[in-house]
Amino acid sequence: MVDDAESGDGIVESQRAIDPRLLAILVCPVTKHPLRYDPVRQELISKAARLAYPVRDGVPILTSEAARALDDPPHQV
């Protein structure tokens, strides 16, 4: 039922979006503050911890080990 769009050129065409009901209860595991979802970069942003957590195939990866530091000033895409 989940169709993985496997295009020949290797570009992921349809990223599974995070369910809004799930998004509503997700928090940063470090600070427990809410997260902002960036659907373009497929990241969950913790402003308080200055960390970005990856989302892989719709599965949020919310461990401090997997997070990327937001050392550069936040830039809007």
60 near another protein, judged by CB under 8 A? yes
2 near another protein, judged by CB under 8 A? yes
Angle at 21 between CA 4 and CA 61, to 5 degrees: 60
The half-sphere exposure of 74 on its side-chain side, counting CA atoms within 13 A, is 12
Taking residues 9 to 48 in sequence order and writing x for each that binds another protein by CB under 8 A, - otherwise, the string is ----------x-xx--xxxxxx-x-x--------------
Contact 44, 38 (CB under 8 A): yes
Chain contacts with another protein (rule: CB under 8 A):
1-2, 19, 21-22, 25-30, 32, 34, 56-57, 59-64, 66
